[in-house]
């Protein structure tokens, strides 16, 4: 297919934007890209798809999200993290069935595809949710997924007994670490290579030092990447400082072998200068989730300092209970604004940097930058088209500004992954959208009832 007459934001090494550009896709890859008049004359025999009035850019890459949690959208609003976790999220997730996990994965993926995310990193899918169901959802939908299977052996958060997990979520080494190895053997590389299986380690305090060391050794031996929440809230920092010997977040991670280019650490709000230096020196990646950090009052990550030090920073939405959407385009806007607000410096984290975080930086974090993250000949045909012929998007002068500050997921007209059209004219092609959201509604309410929280998650104003 020859996609023609679009404004093509390539994010290539020169960061070229092609006005009236075209992309030739053959099989799963881009085989030509350039001006429409040139490609139309070279490839007259190809089927053509007119994208006049659209901006085309690389498919967005979410480096942190929780597919299971989309069933819990709006079920834990306006709570600080301890109450959010212990009284709502862990209780709800501890009552999941494998059928709930599959319904959650499908509605998460449907939303991501419709809003322009073509590849995502699932943070830590629990055994009780049914990891194979998640893999089936990725396979059926056509999305690209790096899927973290949870690794844990301690049912607490940050070592505090008061922050105890729901018993339905607690896993041991056999179920978590060895289960992840089994899932890696069964699923890694499946779905035409679109599935990658990762270790999804719990936060320090939820994993023993011995299990961390075993996991990081296996990671190197078997080439299995790792993702992990870290330094999200002040309690994390206090946990590290209380260890014997005392640690900073990154000195502890380094001591158990977590730092390196195969690791994506998430949130990373409470860091000192030595932590940032360690991240840069080891090539460890960071996933920035500004909406989650703001909504849970965790703080604001030092992204300008991380970028200045040379740390690769990607972008993620986190889960729906602490964001309420899986729309990475909306996340881009906040990522471009929040650092200006707290620094009083409007030049920090400009729109171009934000788009890099959501595309090529995300690809680097996932070890996929040779395949995705930019629109270049030889790379996978993962891209989205945004219809700019709308009153809320006109006029615009910079395509990058429009994508970061004006566009939302609802403006995505087309999503292509591996050369296949998965969303066309804003409609899902590979999934029955109505069936997906109806199943999500059914399973979400069933989980809430099963957990005994129906009265707590309803509207606070009178329902009459």
- CATH at residue 387: 2.30.40.10
Question: What is the pLDDT at residue 163?
Answer: 76
- Give the structural domain span for 407: 2-58+379-428
Question: What is the pLDDT at residue 161?
Answer: 59
Among the listed residues 258, 260, 254, 266, the one whose alpha carbon sits nearest the alpha carbon of residue 121: 266
Domain membership of residue 163 (yes or no) is yes
What is the average pLDDT across 267-290? 98
Among the listed residues 115, 30, 109, the one whose alpha carbon sits nearest the alpha carbon of residue 407: 115
Q: State whether 209 and 136 are in the same domain.
A: yes
DSSP helix/strand/coil, 441: helix
Q: Mind listing the pLDDT tens digit for each residue in 35-67?
A: 999 999 999 999 999 999 999 999 999 999 999
Q: Where are the beta strands (DSSP E) in 143-260?
A: 144-151, 156-157, 160-164, 195-201, 226-230
409, 330 in Cβ contact below 8 A?
A: yes
Domain membership of residue 447 (yes or no) is no
What is the average pLDDT across 153-176? 85
CB within 8 Å of 83: residues ≥ 6 apart: none
Give the rounded percent of residues in the chain with a pLDDT score beyond 90. Answer: 95
Q: State whether 211 and 127 are in the same domain.
A: yes
Q: State whether 32 and 121 are in the same domain.
A: no
Cα angle 155-157-158, degrees, rounded to a multiple of 5? 130
What is the average pLDDT across 268-277? 98
- Name the domain boundary from 332, 365, 398: 365
Q: State whether 323 and 412 are in the same domain.
A: no
CA dist., res. 356 & res. 332, Å (int): 10
Confidence band of 429 (pLDDT split at 50, 70, 90):
very high
- When divided into structural domains, the chain yields a total of 2
Q: If you search the block for the tokens 């060895």, which residue do you land on?
A: 178
316, 287 in Cβ contact below 8 A?
A: yes
Domain membership of residue 204 (yes or no) is yes
Confidence band of 156 (pLDDT split at 50, 70, 90):
confident
Q: State whether 347 and 391 are in the same domain.
A: no
Q: Mind listing the pLDDT tens digit for each residue in 417-428?
A: 999 999 999 999
Q: State whether 105 and 22 are in the same domain.
A: no
Q: State whether 70 and 49 are in the same domain.
A: no
Question: What is the pLDDT at residue 164?
Answer: 83
Give the rounded percent of residues in the chain with a pLDDT score beyond 70. Answer: 99
CA dist., res. 403 & res. 396, Å (int): 10
Among the listed residues 108, 84, 85, the one whose alpha carbon sits nearest the alpha carbon of residue 444: 108
Question: What is the pLDDT at residue 178?
Answer: 98
CA dist., res. 427 & res. 319, Å (int): 23
Q: State whether 301 and 235 are in the same domain.
A: yes
Q: State whether 50 and 64 are in the same domain.
A: no
Residue 378 in this model has a pLDDT that exceeds 70 = yes
Q: State whether 153 and 193 are in the same domain.
A: yes
Domain membership of residue 151 (yes or no) is yes
Domain membership of residue 290 (yes or no) is yes
CA dist., res. 141 & res. 93, Å (int): 24
210 half-sphere exposure, CB direction, 13 A CA radius = 4
Q: State whether 22 and 72 are in the same domain.
A: no
């Amino acid at each position: 297919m020859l996609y023609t007459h679009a404004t093509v934001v390539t994010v290539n090494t020169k960061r070229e934007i092609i006005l009236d550009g075209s992309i030739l896709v053959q099989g799963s890859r881009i085989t030509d890209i350039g001006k429409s008049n040139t490609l139309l004359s070279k490839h007259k025999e190809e089927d053509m798809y007119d994208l006049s009035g659209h901006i085309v850019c690389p498919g967005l890459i979410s480096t942190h999200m929780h597919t299971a949690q989309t069933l819990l959208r709006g079920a834990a609003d306006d709570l600080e993290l301890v109450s959010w976790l212990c009284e709502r999220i862990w209780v709800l997730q501890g009552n999941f069935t494998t059928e709930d996990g599959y319904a959650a994965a499908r509605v998460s993926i449907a939303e991501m595809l419709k809003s322009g995310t073509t590849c995502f990193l699932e943070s830590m899918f629990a055994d009780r949710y049914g990891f194979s169901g998640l893999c089936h959802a990725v396979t059926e939908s056509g999305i690209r997924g790096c899927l973290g299977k949870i690794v844990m052996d301690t049912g607490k958060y940050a070592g505090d007994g008061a922050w105890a997990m729901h018993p339905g979520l607690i896993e041991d080494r056999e179920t978590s670490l060895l289960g992840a190895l089994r899932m890696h053997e069964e699923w890694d590389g499946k779905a035409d290579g679109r599935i990658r299986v990762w270790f999804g380690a719990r936060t320090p305090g939820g994993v023993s030092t011995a299990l961390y060391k075993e996991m990081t050794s296996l990671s190197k031996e078997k080439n299995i990447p790792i993702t992990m929440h870290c330094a999200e809230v002040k309690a994390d920092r206090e946990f590290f400082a209380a260890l014997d010997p005392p640690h900073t977040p990154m000195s502890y991670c380094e001591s158990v072998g977590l730092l390196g280019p195969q690791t994506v650490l998430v949130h990373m709000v409470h860091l000192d200068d030595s932590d940032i230096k360690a991240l840069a020196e080891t090539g460890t990646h960071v996933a920035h989730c500004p909406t989650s950090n703001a909504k849970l009052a965790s703080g604001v990550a030092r992204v300008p300092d991380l970028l200045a030090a040379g740390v690769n920073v990607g972008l993620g939405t986190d889960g729906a209970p602490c964001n309420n959407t899986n729309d990475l385009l909306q996340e881009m806007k906040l990522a471009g604004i929040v650092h200006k607000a707290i620094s009083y410096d409007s030049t920090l984290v400009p729109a171009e940097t934000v788009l890099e975080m959501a595309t090529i930086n995300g690809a680097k974090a996932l070890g996929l930058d040779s395949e995705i993250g930019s629109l270049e000949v030889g790379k996978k045909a993962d891209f989205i088209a945004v219809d700019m012929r709308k009153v809320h998007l006109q006029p615009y002068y910079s395509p990058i500004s429009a994508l970061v500050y004006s566009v939302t997921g609802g403006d995505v007209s087309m999503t292509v992954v591996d050369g296949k059209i998965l969303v066309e004219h804003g409609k899902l092609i590979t999934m029955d959208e109505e069936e997906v959201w109806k199943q999500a509604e059914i399973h979400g309410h069933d989980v809430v009832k099963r957990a005994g929280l129906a009265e707590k998650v309803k509207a606070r104003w009178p329902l009459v």
